């Protein structure tokens, strides 16, 4: 498969992932706004911080390293060994579920049962849902490796919609169930997700077309189960060693990714109500970032991992693929920079209004607007880091991955310490400032790797981080105009003034986007050719 074909598939996957994330976030957005009217912020804090942290920790530690290792390298592999390796995520998930469940029940502060009922049941069901989701890991990796876009869109969309409907129904009719509402909905979500993948592959492998065209490296659904034979090793030891390297890295990355939740959970720097407000603001602040950046990062990691050979020096890479990877990286960096700057500039002037519309005075008063404005700056760093690490982790050799782990280890400890100190000093804003520091260091590490990787070649992908003076001036002008508009029109002047403030923002945004279209013709060409609507429509039909 050529690099251009892989690029087209990755772009279609990212486009579909973008639509999928839009659906997820819109549903979650309205669901959270609905829930805030019926449940206390303490319950929201327990679910969105503590129980979600338990679930994400189990799944991340059990599968992240396996995903990265098994999606790397050539498609010419012994898939039975790869699938055997992926099934090891299930016993690993059971171990982490039992161990972390005990920690959550015995070592952490237990909330008042009168305020937050059924905490123990919530811990058990969230741990069980993590294990259930890991049962579908071999199916997920096989689908991702063969870029089954429609499967991912349908499976995850169906699961999220059904979970949201169940949650809303239980919140409306049985609010006294407390945490059981979210726990049952989470278990239902993972069950539907795994079942969707199993049903799809069962039907696909039983069809005559699949057998004739050799779409998959397996011919029966039972081939996806663990396969013990004496003629070869149970797993590919090269993949297993790479998995171990990524596991050490993923453990540290999880601390960095969810660091503020670990500090809140284990050090009790915020009460459960404040944790709920922080998490709501955090989710709202990351809404647009995750809509755009997460599907791009996931999809183009697959692209870079397929196009570049991990253990080969840059000079030994296939030069056509090497050049394509550089061009794609440059365009992705430019896209991330522009999207991040847009969110940062306009987020400062519209944070209070967004919080007031979303959650009322509970969010728009107090520390909420300051939290969201600070988060807008963090989004800019988050955008750049997603792209740089996407390339770096796909291109690093095993030795370089191991060396990078030591840097991540030092960064993990400094991040946790800084989070604790800054939170003691300036409250929940300290978490976001610590995250900004963390992202800045990680971006620096990745930029150094990319610079040295392409140093001996004529390609300069880091040029994507440069903006023309005209476009930079448009961002500055938009920031000044919307800032002045907020002072005079928002947010205590009534809805006519608010609508005027929104109109000013729309005009400024149009001016900025128009300037980008004129000055960034190279990026516009990339977006039109790789993320075109026609390409996505062809793939989805």
The reply to whether 276 falls in a domain is yes
SS3 296: helix
The reply to whether 416 falls in a domain is yes
pLDDT for 477: 96
pLDDT for 214: 57
With residue 112 as reference, give the H or E element that holds it: none
Residues 44 and 155 both lie in one domain:
yes
Residues 43 and 113 both lie in one domain:
yes
The reply to whether 453 falls in a domain is yes
Helix axes 368-395, 272-285, angle to 10 degrees: 60
**How far apart are the C-alpha atoms of 167 and 174, rounded to whole Å?**
10
Whether the CB-CB separation of 522 and 331 falls below 8 Å is answered with: yes
Residues 300 and 200 both lie in one domain:
no
Residues 152 and 291 both lie in one domain:
no
**How far apart are the C-alpha atoms of 181 and 81, rounded to whole Å?**
39
pLDDT for 338: 94
With residue 230 as reference, give the H or E element that holds it: none
pLDDT for 290: 67
The reply to whether 301 falls in a domain is yes
The reply to whether 498 falls in a domain is no
The reply to whether 14 falls in a domain is no
Sign, Cα dihedral of 317, 318, 323, 327: negative
Residues 284 and 325 both lie in one domain:
yes
Residues 144 and 271 both lie in one domain:
no
Whether the CB-CB separation of 160 and 142 falls below 8 Å is answered with: no
Tell me which residue of 289, 435, 465, 294 sits closest to 374, measured CA to CA: 435
Task: Give the Cα-Cα-Cα angle 54, 404, 340 (nearest 5 degrees).
Answer: 70
Select from 444, 465, 486 the last residue of a domain.
Answer: 465
How many structural domains compose the chain?
Answer: 2
CA distances for 342 relative to 238, 323, 530, angstroms: 43, 29, 22
Select from 404, 431, 465 the last residue of a domain.
Answer: 465
**How far apart are the C-alpha atoms of 71 and 82, rounded to whole Å?**
10
The per-residue pLDDT string of the chain (541 residues; one tens digit each, 9 = 90 and over) reads 556 666 665 555 555 555 665 666 676 667 767 776 677 778 888 998 899 999 999 999 999 888 888 877 555 667 888 888 899 999 999 999 999 999 999 999 888 888 888 999 999 999 999 999 999 999 998 888 877 767 887 888 889 888 888 988 898 888 888 899 999 999 999 999 999 999 998 888 887 765 555 567 777 888 888 887 766 777 777 888 888 878 876 777 777 777 778 888 888 778 787 787 788 888 777 776 666 777 778 778 878 888 888 777 777 777 888 888 899 999 999 999 999 999 999 999 998 898 888 777 767 777 788 889 999 999 999 999 989 998 998 888 878 887 887 777 777 778 888 888 898 888 888 888 988 998 999 999 999 999 998 888 888 899 999 999 999 999 999 999 999 999 888 877 778 888 999 999 999 999 999 999 999 988 998 888 876 533 433 443 3
Model pTM? 0.71
pLDDT for 11: 59
With residue 481 as reference, give the H or E element that holds it: helix 469-489
Give how far the C-alpha of residue 202 lies from the chain's centroid of Cα atoms, to the nearest Å: 29
Provide the domain limits for residue 293: 258-465
pLDDT for 3: 60
SS3 439: helix
Tell me which residue of 133, 432, 516 sits closest to 263, measured CA to CA: 432
**How far apart are the C-alpha atoms of 428 and 281, rounded to whole Å?**
11
pLDDT for 541: 34
The reply to whether 487 falls in a domain is no
Select from 210, 244, 278 the last residue of a domain.
Answer: 244
With residue 157 as reference, give the H or E element that holds it: helix 149-173
Residues 208 and 82 both lie in one domain:
yes
Question: What are the DSSP calls for 327-383, one per residue?
Answer: HHHHHHHHHHHHHHHHHHHHHHHHHHHHHHHHHTHHHHSTTHHHHHHHHHHHHHHHH
With residue 534 as reference, give the H or E element that holds it: helix 533-540
């Amino acid at each position: 498969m050529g690099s251009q074909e892989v690029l087209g598939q990755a772009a279609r996957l990212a486009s579909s992932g973008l639509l999928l994330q839009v659906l997820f976030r819109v549903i979650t957005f309205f669901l959270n706004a609905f829930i805030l009217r019926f449940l206390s912020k303490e319950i929201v804090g327990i679910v969105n911080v503590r129980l979600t942290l338990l679930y994400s920790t189990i799944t991340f530690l059990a599968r992240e390293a396996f995903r990265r290792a098994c999606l790397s390298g050539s498609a010419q592999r012994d898939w039975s060994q790869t699938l055997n390796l992926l099934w090891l995520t299930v016993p690993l998930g059971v171990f982490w579920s039992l161990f972390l469940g005990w920690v959550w029940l015995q070592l952490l502060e237990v909330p008042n049962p009168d305020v937050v009922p059924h905490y123990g049941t919530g811990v058990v069901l969230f741990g069980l849902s993590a294990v259930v989701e890991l049962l579908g890991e071999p199916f997920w990796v096989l689908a991702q490796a063969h870029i089954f876009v429609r499967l991912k869109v349908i499976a995850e969309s169906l699961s999220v919609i059904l979970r949201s409907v169940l949650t809303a129904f239980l919140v409306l009719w049985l609010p006294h169930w407390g945490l059981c509402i979210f726990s049952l909905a989470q278990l239902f979500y993972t069950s539907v997700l795994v079942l969707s993948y199993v049903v799809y592959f069962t039907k696909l492998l039983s069809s005559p077309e699949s057998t004739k065209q050799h779409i998959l490296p397996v011919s029966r659904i039972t081939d996806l189960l663990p396969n013990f034979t004496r003629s070869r090793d149970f797993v590919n030891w090269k993949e297993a060693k790479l998995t171990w390297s990524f596991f050490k890295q993923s453990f540290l990355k999880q601390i960095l990714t969810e660091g503020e939740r670990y500090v809140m959970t284990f050090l009790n720097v915020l009460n459960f109500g404040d944790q709920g407000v922080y998490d709501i603001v955090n989710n709202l602040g990351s809404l647009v970032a995750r809509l755009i950046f997460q599907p791009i990062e996931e999809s183009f990691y697959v692209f870079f991992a397929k196009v570049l050979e991990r253990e080969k020096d840059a000079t030994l890479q296939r030069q056509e693929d090497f050049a394509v990877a550089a061009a794609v990286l440059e365009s992705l960096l430019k896209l991330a920079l522009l999207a991040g700057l847009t969110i940062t500039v306009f987020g400062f002037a519209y944070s209070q209004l967004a919080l007031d519309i979303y959650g009322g005075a509970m969010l728009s008063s107090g520390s909420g607007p300051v939290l969201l404005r600070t988060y807008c700056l963090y989004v800019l760093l988050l955008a750049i880091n997603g792209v740089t690490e996407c390339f770096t982790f796909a291109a690093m050799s095993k030795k370089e991955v191991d060396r990078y782990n030591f840097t991540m280890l030092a960064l993990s400890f400094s991040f946790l310490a800084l989070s604790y100190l800054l939170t003691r000093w300036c409250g929940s804003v300290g978490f976001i400032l610590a995250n900004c520091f963390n992202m800045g260091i990680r971006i620096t590490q990745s930029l150094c790797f990319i610079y040295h990787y392409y140093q001996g070649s004529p390609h300069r992908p880091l040029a994507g981080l440069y903006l023309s003076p005209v476009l930079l001036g448009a961002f500055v002008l938009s920031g000044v105009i919307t800032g002045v508009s907020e002072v005079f029109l928002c947010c205590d002047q009534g809805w006519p003034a608010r609508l005027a403030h929104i109109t000013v923002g729309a005009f400024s945004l149009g001016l900025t986007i128009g300037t980008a279209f004129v000055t960034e013709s190279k990026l516009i060409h990339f977006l039109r050719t790789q993320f075109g609507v026609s390409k996505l429509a062809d793939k989805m039909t």
